[in-house]
Amino acid sequence: MFGMIDFAVIGGGIAGVSAAAALAEMGSVTLFETEPMLGYHASGRSAAMFLQTYGNAPVRALNAASAAIHRVADVLSPRGLLVVAGAGDESLVAASHNSLGAAPITVAEAVALWPILDTAVCNRAAYLEEVFDLDTDRLLQYFLRTARGNGAEIRSRCEVTSLRRIARGWEITAGTETFTARSIVNAAGAWADRIASMAGIASPGICPYRRSMARLPAPGGLDVTGWPFVDEVSERWYAKPDAGAWLVSPAEEDPASAHDAWADDMVIAEGLARYEAFVTEPVTRVETTWAGLRSFAPDRALVIGPDPADPTFLWCAGQGGYGFQTAPAASRLLADLADGRPAELTPDVVQALSPSRFRS
């Protein structure tokens, strides 16, 4: 048995590591991760983008409040977003202008940005310059350095298998050992519901949804480095450059159970067919595929803060498709709420992210 920990963080993805960094300024932190390495699940499988206008209002507030740390951590580099629409979807370009802020451009301008766009298929396009590649490993390492610098202990290959409420906090069984902690942080991604149920805490229902990726050789052997992130207007697929290669996602959102996700061949094939309909270069080969789980609360905003039934159980879950964009502000909010100090975000945003919003 070890001395009592102030914060036991469960989960070693971007949510848990950023939470550990923020909480370690306030007390002792031990982070538990099942896998041998941090960032093995959703955090190792993302599209690695920062788009401030992506997500609903509380997510956008977190995106905006995170930008300063993203700059300090030096993780952003310009990419740009090109939205393309085929016949029948023209009106959606205006909708995407309203929601994402992408301004209409001509098809000729779109081809100048993305030379393999098939002008016989695409008849409307829009562009937003303020969209960035986000170096996800660098951000994870930034928070890991901060957490360790503040004394956090990181335990990988250390799955939490039971949680028991005791007088002054929690008894935690992890790996072969038993720990005690004043507070638990549920940063378990797709496993967040399982952790809540282990602790006897009601969950709003955090549901994992699979999303896949295929890496292709550069289309036509072209230099893809300066190409934008390309999004079909209804998000039936999206694509982006990746270290000289080209990523295409079928952009599916298939409900799944928490597991080590992999790409479904049929979903990849159908997604590539939808993508191929828009381009002049055929898909000749797929180098590799993978999938990850994006886990959403029912209203698709993150769940951050103390549980209303037991404030020693802290939520840092429901990161959906925005975990890297939002991590700096979400982890800061978690620490503010754990410390009882005023949050930097406005009260309406704090409430829209609070676990209490699901309790009547």
Ligand X SMILES: Cc1cc2nc3c(=O)[nH]c(=O)nc-3n(C[C@H](O)[C@H](O)[C@H](O)COP(=O)(O)OP(=O)(O)OC[C@H]3O[C@@H](n4cnc5c(N)ncnc54)[C@H](O)[C@@H]3O)c2cc1C
Q: State the minimum distance, in angstroms, from the CB of residue 123 to ligand X.
A: 27
Q: With CB under 6 A as the contact rule, which of the stretches 30-38, 84-92, 100-108, 348-356 interacts with ligand X? A: 30-38
Contacts of 13 (CB under 8 A, 6+ apart): 38, 39, 40, 41, 42, 43, 187, 189, 323
Q: With CB under 6 A as the contact rule, which of the stretches 37-45, 92-100, 214-222, 262-270 interacts with ligand X? A: 37-45
* 250 lines the binding site for ligand X (CB under 6 A): no
In the chain, what is the greatest distance between 2 CA atoms, to the nearest angstrom?
69
Q: State the minimum distance, in angstroms, from the CB of residue 175 to ligand X.
A: 9
Residues of this chain, 290-309, that bind ligand X according to CB under 6 A: 292, 294
Q: Residue from 58, 219, 241, 323 that binds ligand X (CB under 6 A)?
A: 323
Q: State the minimum distance, in angstroms, from the CB of residue 218 to ligand X.
A: 20
Q: Residue from 7, 20, 28, 46 that binds ligand X (CB under 6 A)?
A: 46
Instruction: Evaluate whether 182 touches 169 at the Cβ level (below 8 Å).
Output: yes
* 252 lines the binding site for ligand X (CB under 6 A): no
The full DSSP string for 49-84 is EEETT-SSHHHHHHHHHHHHHHHHTT-EEE--EEEE
How crowded is residue 193: how many other Cβ atoms within 10 Å of its Cβ?
A: 21
What are the respective helix, strand and coil percentages of the chain, to the nearest 5?
A: 30, 30, 40
* 13 lines the binding site for ligand X (CB under 6 A): yes
Q: Residue from 5, 7, 12, 305 that binds ligand X (CB under 6 A)?
A: 12
* 271 lines the binding site for ligand X (CB under 6 A): no
* 187 lines the binding site for ligand X (CB under 6 A): yes
Contacts of 58 (CB under 8 A, 6+ apart): 301, 302, 349, 352, 353
Q: With CB under 6 A as the contact rule, which of the stretches 42-50, 105-113, 273-281, 340-348 interacts with ligand X? A: 42-50
- Smaller CB distance to ligand X: residue 116 or 158? 158
Contacts of 295 (CB under 8 A, 6+ apart): 42, 189, 190, 192, 206, 207, 208, 209, 317, 318, 319, 320
Q: Could you tell me how many residues of this chain bind ligand X (CB under 6 A)?
A: 39
Helix (H) or strand (E) holding 273: helix 265-276
Q: State the minimum distance, in angstroms, from the CB of residue 167 to ligand X.
A: 23
* 214 lines the binding site for ligand X (CB under 6 A): no
Reading the block at residue 284, the tokens are 């000749």
Instruction: Evaluate whether 182 touches 7 at the Cβ level (below 8 Å).
Output: yes
How crowded is residue 22: how many other Cβ atoms within 10 Å of its Cβ?
A: 26
- Smaller CB distance to ligand X: residue 184 or 233? 184
* 188 lines the binding site for ligand X (CB under 6 A): yes
* 16 lines the binding site for ligand X (CB under 6 A): yes
* 321 lines the binding site for ligand X (CB under 6 A): yes
How crowded is residue 33: how many other Cβ atoms within 10 Å of its Cβ?
A: 27
Q: State the minimum distance, in angstroms, from the CB of residue 255 to ligand X.
A: 14
Residue numbers at the binding site for ligand X (CB under 6 A): 10-16, 32-35, 40-43, 45-49, 159-160, 187-191, 211, 213, 249, 292, 294, 319-325
